Amino acid sequence: MPNITLAIPEDLHAKMKEHSEIRWSEVVRKTITQKIEDLDIMDKLTAKSKLTQKDVDEIASKVDSSVARKLGLKR
C-alpha cells in the first residue's frame, strides 16, 4: 500500500496526540475514500451534461449572490 505524507499545523498535531487511541491514518483513509466516492458520483451525474465551465461559474455566482442577499450580507 502506498504511503502519503501530510503537513498539519502544530496545534492540530498537539490535539491529535491528546487522543492517541484514535488511529488517525484510518480516519484519513476513510475521509479520502468518501471524497473519492463523492467525486465518482458527481462525475456520473455530470457525464452527459452540456454545461460549460462558464455556465457553471455563472450559475454559482447567481447562487452565491442569492444566498448572500438572504443572509443580509448583500443588498
Q: How many CB atoms lie within 10 A of CB 63?
A: 10
Q: What is the rounded average pLDDT of the residues 12-37? A: 97
In angstroms, the CA 47 to CA 39 distance is 12
Q: Which stretch of 8-17, 26-35, 43-52 has the lowest confidence by average pLDDT?
A: 43-52
pLDDT at 74 over 90: no
pLDDT at 67 over 80: yes
% of residues, the chain, pLDDT over 90:
85
Three cell numbers, residue 47: 457525464
> What are the residue boundaries of the structural domains of the chain, listed by start?
10-70
pTM above 0.85, yes or no: no
* Composition of the chain by helix, strand, coil, percent to 5: 65, 0, 35
Give the pLDDT confidence of 2-14 residue by residue, as tens digits: 999 999 999 999 9
